[in-house]
Structure 1
Amino acid sequence: MKNINIDKAQHGILRFQFSSDNKESILVDLDFFDELLPQAIDFLEEDSSKAIIFEFKDPAVGTDYKVLFEEAMAWQVFVDRLNSVSKRISRLKGFRKPIVCIVHDECLSAAYSFASMANYILLSKSKGKLGFPETKFGLMPGFGGTINLLQRLGAEGALNILTSGKIYQAEDALKLGLANLLFEEEEEGLSLALSWIAAHKQLESESHLVIKEAEAEYFVNLSSKINRAIPSQLAIVQVFQDSLNENLADAYELEADAFCSVLQRKEPLAMLRTQYYGTADASRMAAAVASFPIQKIGVIGAGMMGAGIAYEAAKAGFDVVLRDISLESAERGRAYSAKVLDKSISLGKATEKHKEIILARIHATDKLAEMHNADIIVEAVFEDIALKNQVIAESANLLHEGGVFASNTTSLPISKLAIASKNPSNFIGLHFFSPVDRMPLVEVICGKQTSEETLNKALHFISKLKKIPIVVQDGPAFFTSRIFFNYLLEGISMIQEGIPLEQIEGAARLAGFGVGPLAVLDEITLDLMVKVYEQLPKLHASQQRTLSYLKKLIAEGRSGRRSGKGFYDYPADGGKKQYWQDPDIAVSKEIPSTDDLKKRLLHVVALDSYRCLDEGILSKAIDGDIGSVFGLGYPTHTGGVFGHIDQVGLAQFVEECKGYAAAGEQWEIPQSLEKLAKEEFQFYKGFDANSFGIRD
């Protein structure tokens, strides 16, 4: 609930103070603009008026995203109101009288759009934060924010901010130009505002948007600086280009039109559903389970994964015993935490004292007995079932009564590993992603005998680590690894079909994947992929062909980046990797279009994700979307695998998948999916999931 206090004009200056009741954030929405702008315009029309001060005393945010989409459904009313706001902003700035905004706390989204109307922004050094977090979810700032930032920062600076989705602390906001000056004491903001107004009684005209000559070349290549799969980024670039040298009123109107058009696209809604609401619900679910007293964590294996898990656990306040086969290896794992903390210190995100406290919580050892009475033990040794079974059998009895034993594994069956623990009910899979300190997802895998109590304890642990959980059932490679292997499989299948590597990798990047499947294979090594295939219970013909081909390349010494060659060649001098064409495979005379290659890479992952839902590996579609985006790196603009199917349309998706049947068994369509396609089923209706079930 907002409170507005308006100081009567003194010495020609009108001051608006915004605060909130009950510690809630100030809501800046269309109503806010409609209420405040006319009052400000009426005042500045008076000959005696000199300036306006807007002051946000408490945190301020924009409209809830769901409400925003609901408002946009009343299309014509929404458009008319936005255009009215645009005209008023233009008129307000047209008076050429100083407008100052004082910000005491965070000021985000539409609230910062409002603040950015000001000629001069003063920001609290201790509590101030500015930004447009909505741009991370495929939206663009409205209410003048895009144009205001373009005026304030120029094209390059504005585009970086408008595509990052970051929230900037005061010092960074000042460096980037989002604010003009920082203040320390609360009363200082007003005195600084009055001083600036006194020195700037008449401002230069801002009737047109003009770029500096130095930015002209950058401006021409704007579209190369963005992710073109995200409509909001394309819209922002278009607004920038169309607004050049335009009347300011027209520029604001162009922004309003673009803002409305982006809200009509499927992508932002899908991105918000997964990345904002879906992750929040998953984290809330984990935090809501009954608390489980945790003091001591045991981590077995101090490699990259174990070291990362130990760091996250220590950061969460737990005492950690980090064990490896030698004390030297264990200490090396502990040193990883020091390295991460040193980087945080260099960025101003941590202190030496903070580092000292966290490192003191991590005890490196080569003695398994020091795990005794741990509340949770996580084994993170090499992905070998015999080794894991040995470690589990040796250490499971060291758990505190009622403790949880977790295996960090990408694909080994949890139910089989649990047998070695002699108490399968307290055994669970926790699949962390590398690097653990930067990857937010944890895939929680329930074995056949994992108890509900154990699941809840694991979720409680994950909530303390501030990670996002998805819960899946046991099965070959679970969910994220399974669909990831299909992504890699399709890349190898394309190579075997005679499609040049550069076209496959280029199509993957154009589809929105961060890295192409063959570059990924070289990084993880072909040997690891072979080991995974050999541990799966059965392989269909396409997987067998892939396994044989990988073994052939390994025999030729092409096992990936570490060997200097794989699907790419890696120069010994560290130069740029080169495409490699297998001389044993002729280049196809009928190479598919880039669009077809993109669809194959996107569809093959989504199709197997559906199988996971159909088979009960997944219990709900949103877990598949969260897992695919945060675990696999599935293109964010789709909202995830099921969001992608909905965007394509299920009937069309099925028909397109049938068209790729010749590529292998990975394209077989489950009968249940055919049935749903005939019923025109959608996995979601807006932000809400439709109930999923196979109907007779």
Structure 2
Amino acid sequence: MSTFTQEIDAQGLAVLTWNDPNGPVNSLAQSAVLALGKAIDDLLANDAVKGIVLTSGKADFVVGANLKEIQTMPQNAETVLNFVRSLHAITRRMEQGGKPIVAAMNGTALGGGMEVALACHHRIAADNPKAVFGFPEVNLGLLPGGGGTQRLARMLGIQAAMPWLLQATQAKAKEAQAAGFINAVVPAEQLISAAKEWLLANPAACVQPWDEKKFKLPNGEVQSAKVAQVFMGAEAMLRQKGMGNYRAPQLILQALYEGCQVPFDASLEIEARYFTELLLSDQAKAMIRTFFVALQDANKLKNRPQGVDKKQFQKIGILGAGMMGAGIAYAAAISGMQVVLLDSTQTAADKGKAYSDELLKKRVARGKMTAEKATITLAHILPTTDFKDLKGCELVIEAVFEERTIKAEVTARAEAVLADDAIFASNTSTLPITGLAEASKRPAQFIGLHFFSPVDKMPLVEIILGQQTNQQTLAWALDFVQQIKKTPITVNDSRGFYTSRVFKTYVLEGMALLQEGVAPALIENAGKLAGMPVGPLTLSDEVSLELMDRIGRQTQQDLGAAYVPHPGDAVVQTMVHELKRIGKKAGVGFYTYPTEPGAKKTLWTGLAEHFPVATQQPDVETVKQRLLYAQAVEALHCRAEGVITRAHEMDIGSIFGWGFAAHTGGVISFIETIEGLASFIANADALAERCGNRFRIPESVRDMAAAGRSFY
């Protein structure tokens, strides 16, 4: 079956339909690019053809490059450059072939798909509510390599093009039309007829503006004072947001700056070279592997147990209507489930439902949902204090206070009214699931579902298997996470599991540095420069030093002599018990939080008295290394102990769970791809000698390196 089919009507208008037989979507696979070139050449050479409509036989138009295939290409500049140049040559033949071409986009057009559409002389989109348009390449460490940087800038002007290219903005059809890179939006059933009408009305519209001799960039040339200021502002913004860690946005700016000063064909060569540089970089390889390949595999439940029928949940129960329980209730209700939200008082249960009401009102105000739909969604939530209301629930999630006795009590009371095949989940972030399952009469149907706060924004759910959890319970838990449109990772039981266990090493290492006399501002800024969302002291305040102290004391009590103290423990003790500075919620922690509107937090001036600053300070690279390596080494111990075994889930969990430096592709990609395993081992050994055994890597990692094996 051919990728392209064509129909030519009596008026000489050809409809070229892209329908790749090799997959569910159209992509810029090498075979498709070659087929597109041949199909365009055939139509351009056919004297009977007066105009061309390029459309799709799939639900979407074209979703972009085939990144899985690109990763299998020979990793050398010549191969990649030749592929990109071949695409550029085809799009230039489309533009300069002497016949008008319309892109009739029935669905989503992203990345390379949108770039092909930009090479057409006119773009019409169906009014499809599911369709989005834009250039997401920067999120994968790349830039648009099919002419997108150059065409979009010449179409919109440099300043207007920047947000689409630098921020990976995706828009609905009418938003893209308002921006200027889609010309018209029509009802889906009128898409092809509208495209043909335009061709008939514009038979000579076969020259792009940038191919006209008198063409000037909209809203100012590169060297104009106005656009020069735009580039200066963009550079400052990138430095502020990305701390210089991301190569792709920097090269997008360079492609715009250099490419918009030269003739169009020369600009395409500039873009091709920068695209190739990025594609062959370790950063892009890591980001593509995590944010494209691994994320797709996780969301598609690639590792779901076989032989278990798919479960579609209709009714669930949530025990505890606090911030976390209320967030889970919202996620389930908006996915169409009936939700029983139970708390010890009706006031607390009602407050939990009100949380969803506020979120739904915001969606209505932003045009993301109709008021009628919001009312129906809110009605899915039943706030109650009566455990009998849990009858008929297929899943109950416990999200009560982190205290074993309370969890045991609600587990028993809920199971008393549940059907035999219902499953029970705990949202605990630290307490071992096997221990909590002791309160259950059916531990095989007991599992951990660790959500992250705020649930409506955080995409990850950590699924924890107890020692007796069966495969059906795991499969159904995965189904539930998929149903609420979250990304799951699966881990085995242990204290702190994977995400909480590794996360704490970041904040504790920050405190260890403070204890050693490193300046608080240096610690905080090094954390952000390393790629973490905030500094470790800020994060400690936000999580709550009091909570960290409570968890730490519980851990020491449970482990007894087996507990291994961390240098940061003493700082927690001092802050909580001696200084009574427990974090942001109290207005005092490592920072002081003013109550005046608009006033900013400041590092507490008393820190120097209790943690004197050393005369000699480490360089920023040393502090960055300690903060990242503390997390990476602990992640390796989690893998060595069998807590989590799949490298791609470790990377996904690290980024979406606790905010590990995203530019590295995740904690395992940081170790293996960015640092290089041999270099990482050497650096970790040096840190262990200097700072202690918390930087000592597992022997299994040395064995793996010696055998030349890879995590991936």
Same fold, TM-score > 0.5, yes or no: yes
Aligned-residue Cα RMSD (Å) equals 3.1
Contact residue 110 and residue 134 of structure 2 kept, 8 A = yes
| Displacement after TM superposition at 1:2 (Å) | 2.6
Match of 1:466, as an amino acid?
K
2:628 aligned to 598, 602, 608, which one?
Answer: 602
SS at match of 1:444: strand
Residue matched to 1:689: none
Match of 1:653, as an amino acid?
F
Residue matched to 1:655: 682
Per-residue Cα deviation, 1:530-587 (whole angstroms, up to 9, x for no partner): 1111121348887454233223222323221222221122222141111234322222
Aligned counterparts, 1:467-616, within 5 A: 467-536=486-555, 537-538=558-559, 543-554=565-576, 555-574=578-597, 575-580=599-604, 581-616=607-642
2:171 aligned to 168, 171, 176, which one?
Answer: 168
CA distance in 1, matches of 2:413, 2:33: 66
Distance 1:293 1:237, change over 3 A: closer
Match of 1:618, as an amino acid?
I
Residue matched to 1:619: 645
CA distance in 1, matches of 2:321, 2:381: 11
| Displacement after TM superposition at 1:480 (Å) | 0.3
Match of 1:617, as an amino acid?
V
CA distance in 1, matches of 2:685, 2:208: 68
CA distance in 2, matches of 1:541, 1:501: 28
Contact residue 462 and residue 490 of structure 2 kept, 8 A = yes
Residue matched to 1:218: 230
CA distance in 2, matches of 1:213, 1:542: 60
SS at match of 2:63: strand
Distance 1:401 1:482, change over 3 A: same
Distance 1:38 1:369, change over 3 A: closer
| Displacement after TM superposition at 1:385 (Å) | 2.6
SS at match of 1:17: strand
| Displacement after TM superposition at 1:397 (Å) | 2.1
Contact residue 133 and residue 166 of structure 1 kept, 8 A = yes
Distance 1:233 1:386, change over 3 A: same
CA distance in 1, matches of 2:83, 2:498: 45
Contact residue 93 and residue 206 of structure 1 kept, 8 A = no
CA distance in 1, matches of 2:699, 2:376: 56
Distance 1:36 1:616, change over 3 A: closer
SS at match of 1:62: coil
Distance 1:85 1:28, change over 3 A: closer
1:230 aligned to 220, 237, 246, which one?
Answer: 246
Contact residue 568 and residue 577 of structure 1 kept, 8 A = yes
Per-residue Cα deviation, 1:74-103 (whole angstroms, up to 9, x for no partner): 642442343354456557657898654332
Contact residue 444 and residue 471 of structure 1 kept, 8 A = yes
CA distance in 1, matches of 2:313, 2:92: 57
| Displacement after TM superposition at 1:417 (Å) | 1.3
Contact residue 331 and residue 455 of structure 2 kept, 8 A = yes
Residue matched to 2:672: 646
Structure 2 residue 260 is the aligned partner of structure 1 residue 252 = no
Residue matched to 1:628: 654
CA distance in 2, matches of 1:124, 1:303: 43
Per-residue Cα deviation, 1:652-685 (whole angstroms, up to 9, x for no partner): 111111222233442123222233333343212x
Distance 1:517 1:346, change over 3 A: same
Structure 2 residue 122 is the aligned partner of structure 1 residue 120 = yes
Residue matched to 1:346: 365
Residue matched to 2:106: 104
CA distance in 1, matches of 2:86, 2:467: 60
Match of 1:658, as an amino acid?
D
CA distance in 2, matches of 1:43, 1:56: 14
CA distance in 2, matches of 1:679, 1:243: 46
| Displacement after TM superposition at 1:484 (Å) | 0.4
Aligned counterparts, 1:391-410, within 5 A: 391-410=410-429
Moved more, 326-335 or 578-587: 578-587
Moved more, 321-330 or 455-464: 455-464
Distance 1:73 1:202, change over 3 A: closer
SS at match of 1:241: helix
SS at match of 1:341: helix
Structure 2 residue 181 is the aligned partner of structure 1 residue 159 = no
Contact residue 322 and residue 330 of structure 1 kept, 8 A = yes
SS at match of 2:639: helix
| Displacement after TM superposition at 1:408 (Å) | 0.5
Match of 2:148, as an amino acid?
G
Match of 2:4, as an amino acid?
N
| Displacement after TM superposition at 1:15 (Å) | 4.9
Residue matched to 1:682: 710
CA distance in 2, matches of 1:343, 1:500: 41
Aligned counterparts, 1:223-372, within 5 A: 223-226=235-238, 227=242, 228-285=244-301, 286=304, 289-292=308-311, 294-372=313-391
CA distance in 2, matches of 1:39, 1:148: 22
| Displacement after TM superposition at 1:134 (Å) | 3.6
| Displacement after TM superposition at 1:244 (Å) | 3.6
Structure 2 residue ranges without an equivalent (≥5): none
Structure 1 residue ranges without an equivalent (≥5): 685-696
CA distance in 2, matches of 1:399, 1:248: 67
CA distance in 2, matches of 1:533, 1:230: 36
Moved more, 77-86 or 638-647: 77-86
Match of 2:431, as an amino acid?
L
What is the aligned length?
Answer: 681
Contact residue 4 and residue 20 of structure 2 kept, 8 A = yes
Distance 1:544 1:230, change over 3 A: closer
Contact residue 91 and residue 116 of structure 2 kept, 8 A = no
Moved more, 454-463 or 398-407: 454-463
Moved more, 546-555 or 524-533: 546-555
| Displacement after TM superposition at 1:17 (Å) | 2.5
| Displacement after TM superposition at 1:321 (Å) | 0.9
Match of 1:155, as an amino acid?
I
CA distance in 2, matches of 1:400, 1:283: 29
Percent of aligned positions that are identical: 33
Residue matched to 1:693: none
CA distance in 2, matches of 1:426, 1:418: 9
CA distance in 2, matches of 1:493, 1:49: 77
CA distance in 2, matches of 1:456, 1:38: 46
SS at match of 1:587: coil
Contact residue 538 and residue 591 of structure 2 kept, 8 A = yes
CA distance in 1, matches of 2:479, 2:143: 35
| Displacement after TM superposition at 1:372 (Å) | 3.1
Moved more, 533-542 or 316-325: 533-542
Per-residue Cα deviation, 1:293-342 (whole angstroms, up to 9, x for no partner): 64331111111111111122223332211011111111111122222222
2:484 aligned to 452, 465, 470, which one?
Answer: 465
CA distance in 2, matches of 1:42, 1:470: 48
| Displacement after TM superposition at 1:178 (Å) | 2.6
SS at match of 1:61: coil
SS at match of 1:399: coil
Moved more, 200-209 or 613-622: 200-209
| Displacement after TM superposition at 1:200 (Å) | 9.3
| Displacement after TM superposition at 1:116 (Å) | 0.8
